[in-house]
Every structure is written in C-alpha cells, then in structure tokens.
C-alpha cells in the first residue's frame, strides 16, 4: 500500500516496528521506527504515543491498520480524514483469542463493537480485505472498499526456475495452534508409517513454548527428521523458500475469523506455482478451488490431509497442472497490480472532498 501510494506521488509516512533507531527512507516511503514490544501491555500503552506522533506529522489523511490505534488516531485527527483498514474480523478474534480469559471474551467483544461503531462513524472510509469481512461494515459506513492483500506479481515473475523434488511441503507464516500444524504433523506421520516420507519446511514467528511443543510432537510421531524449521525470515526470503518447495499446505482450523479472511500463504503458494492443500473454507474454494489450484480438506482430520498430500505426490501430472493453474490465476486476476487501483481511487476521492483549514493540535491524550 505504502509503496504504490508513494509511486503515485503521495508523501507517505509509515509508523511501525523496526530494528532501526532513526527515521529512514525505503522505496519512497518515510519510515518512523517503533521498538519491539516486550508485552501486550507495552503495545497497548504505546498507542497514545503513536497517535501523537502521527498528529505531529500533520498529514492530510490518516490510514489506521491496528484496532488499538483507531480510537486514539480519530481523537487527534480533528476534521482530517481517517481511513480505517480492517484486515481481520476483530469481533471474531476477540471471541476466539486463547490469551483472553474465556469469561472475558463476550464483554470484550461487546465493548469493541460499541467503540468501533462510534469511531467508524468519524472515518472517511473503511478498507477491508474480503467481502465476508465487508458485510459488517456495509451496515456501518457508506464508503467501504474491498482491497485484497494479493501478491505483487512483478516480484513473483522475477523468481528463477527451480528444480523441485515433488515431495517437500512448506508452511511459511505465523506458527500457532489454530494454523492446524499439529494435524499436519499427524498426517505426515500417517504417510511415513505407510512408507511415504514427505519433508516439511516451516518458517515464521512462533511462541517459544509452542514451537518446542510442536517440534517435540514431531519427535514423538517419529518424523522429527522430516521437519525443518528455518526461523523468522524476511518477506523476500520466505517467498523464495516457498518457491523452492513442491506442495503448499494451509491447514487452518475452522474459526469465524479464519473463514472470513484469506491466508497470504495460500496466495503466495499459488503465485510460485505450488499445488496447495488448503482448508475447505468458502473463500478458499472461491479462489484456489475455482482456479483448480489445489485440494480442499477438513483440516481437523489428519487422514484427509494425508490423502490429499499423497494424491499430489503420486500424481505428478495433477500436481503440475494445479501448480500452473494457481500461478495463472494470480498472474491474471489475484495480484496487487490489479488490486491497488481501488486504493488509489479511494484516496483521490477522499482527498478531493477538500482539505480542511489547518487545525490546532488536539490536547494530549490522557493515559
């Protein structure tokens, strides 16, 4: 989003976490680095400081991506437009997050519903990533745009041709229980017991205790030697890692948030030409299924995952056809080059409504 806006002539400032110690420029975007949070509490307290920093930049438009920042940024924006960018179903997330005590989830979701409705009414527009998520906001705001987080095809087409072994599976992204990785390990163990050993390459951030449990489970299942965790990679490195594998696996477990969104790793696997074994969610079927890019499964059933993986390994022609179909779908339709036009159109129309006269900074927000 930032780089395409900068390419279109906007002066873009991004406030986000970085290991850098001072403001710097990258691909036409001015980046204001924030330190890594030590805890969720630190992250919540930082929202007021981030809002004041955004205010001090005196922008003509605020674009907010994180839910805890929406209220503070709306408070400092005054009459200047705010775009609320919704990339997950936050109401559902609050009802499903394991770190929130079960008894606290309903009141937390209720409170967020009330506050978001209030704040959205003061926004100039709402951007969402899927039609499923948009359904909530169509009822709350007259200016809702779907801007899907599709891969950038210009990056994909630069990847070189690679030789694939037809067996290596890959999952590159956040590693957590709801991603269905335990079920995937059980599927690989089933295949291994039948004489079919499929390597699994993992990459991405993970809670240390969960990662230990996951790797220990692989050892208990006697497939520890097949699992290769590569750590946290840069985005470009993760893309190359997927490009070098043979089968993409996206076995998300059923949840309201997961089924409302679309996993980036599903689209990336399609883009690099991998056949994909994916959770049988409606939106996944609409993209990967309709394109003929892979096999849908009930991710709660390791046996189904195993059958799908074995089918792709045994039928090289099918795997190749599905990989080519997914890559073609990304090249022709599901790419950022086509999608970003909607974002640029939204910015032009919001800003064309006229910029307000300069306003005084809002009073400091009490913590």
Tell me phi and psi for residue 125, to 5 degrees.
-165, 160
Residue 62: the pLDDT is 97
Residue 174 has pLDDT above 50, yes or no: yes
Is there a common fold for 2-150+335-352 and 154-332? yes
- Tokens standing for residue 86: 């919704």
- Tokens standing for residue 292: 């003929």
Residues paired with 42 in a beta bridge: none
Mean pLDDT across the chain: 92
225 DSSP 8-state letter: G
- What is the C-alpha to C-alpha distance for residues 219 and 118, in angstroms, rounded to an integer? 50
Q: Which of 249, 227, 223 is nearest to 308 (CA)?
A: 249
> What is the third-level CATH fold of 2-150+335-352?
Rossmann fold (3.40.50)
Got the DSSP string for 91-148? HHHHHH-TTS-GGGHHHHHHHHHHHHHHHHTT-SEEEESSHHHHHHHHTT-S-EEE--
206 DSSP 8-state letter: B
Residue 102: the pLDDT is 83
Encode pLDDT of 312-321 as tens digits.
999 999 999 9
- What is the C-alpha to C-alpha distance for residues 206 and 212, in angstroms, rounded to an integer? 10
- Tokens standing for residue 334: 């599901």
Residue 213: the pLDDT is 97
Summarize the confidence of residues 264-274 as an average pLDDT: 96
Encode pLDDT of 213-225 as tens digits.
999 999 999 999 9
Between strands 29-34 and 24-26, the pairing is antiparallel
> What is the third-level CATH fold of 154-332?
Rossmann fold (3.40.50)
Least confident of 95-104, 179-188, 202-211: 95-104
Encode pLDDT of 43-77 as tens digits.
778 899 999 999 999 999 999 999 999 999 999 99
pLDDT category of residue 354 using cuts at 50, 70 and 90 = low
- What is the C-alpha to C-alpha distance for residues 110 and 49, in angstroms, rounded to an integer? 26
Summarize the confidence of residues 350-367 as an average pLDDT: 48
- Tokens standing for residue 216: 């220990």
pLDDT category of residue 356 using cuts at 50, 70 and 90 = very low
Domain range list for the chain? 2-150+335-352, 154-332
What is the maximum span of the chain, computed from C-alpha positions, in angstroms?
A: 72
């Amino acid at each position: 989003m930032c780089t395409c806006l900068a390419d279109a002539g906007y002066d873009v400032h991004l406030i986000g976490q970085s290991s850098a110690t001072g403001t710097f420029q990258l691909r036409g975007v001015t980046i204001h680095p924030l330190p890594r949070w030590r805890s969720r509490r630190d992250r919540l307290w930082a929202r007021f400081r981030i809002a004041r920093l955004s205010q001090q930049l005196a922008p003509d438009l605020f674009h907010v991506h994180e839910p805890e920042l929406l209220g503070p940024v709306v408070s400092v924006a005054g009459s200047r437009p705010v775009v609320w960018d919704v990339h997950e179903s936050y109401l559902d997330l609050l009802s499903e997050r394991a770190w929130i005590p079960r008894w606290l989830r309903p009141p937390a979701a209720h409170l967020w519903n009330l506050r978001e409705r209030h704040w959205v009414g003061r926004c100039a527009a709402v951007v969402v990533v899927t039609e499923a998520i948009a359904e909530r906001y169509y009822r709350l705001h007259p200016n809702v745009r779907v801007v899907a987080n599709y891969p950038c095809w210009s990056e994909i087409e630069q990847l070189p041709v690679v030789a694939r072994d037809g067996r290596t599976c890959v999952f590159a992204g956040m590693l957590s229980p709801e991603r269905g990785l335990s079920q995937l390990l059980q599927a690989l163990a089933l295949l291994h017991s039948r004489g079919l050993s499929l390597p699994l390459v993992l990459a991405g951030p993970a809670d240390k205790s969960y990662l230990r449990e996951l790797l220990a489970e692989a050892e208990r299942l006697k497939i520890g030697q097949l699992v290769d965790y590569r750590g946290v990679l840069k985005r470009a490195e993760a893309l190359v890692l997927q490009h070098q594998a043979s089968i993409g696996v996206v076995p998300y477990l059923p949840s309201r948030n997961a089924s409302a969104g679309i996993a980036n790793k599903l689209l990336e696997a399609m883009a690099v030409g991998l056949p994909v074994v994916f959770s049988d969610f409606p939106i996944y079927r609409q993209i990967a299924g309709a394109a003929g890019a892979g096999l849908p499964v009930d991710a709660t059933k390791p046996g189904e995952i195993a059958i799908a993986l074995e089918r792709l390994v045994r039928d090289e022609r099918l795997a190749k056809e599905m990989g080519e179909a997914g890559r073609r779908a990304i090249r022709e339709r599901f790419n950022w080059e086509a999608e970003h036009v909607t974002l640029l159109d939204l910015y032009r129309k919001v800003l064309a409504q006229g910029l307000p006269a300069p306003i005084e900074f809002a009073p400091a927000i009490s913590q």
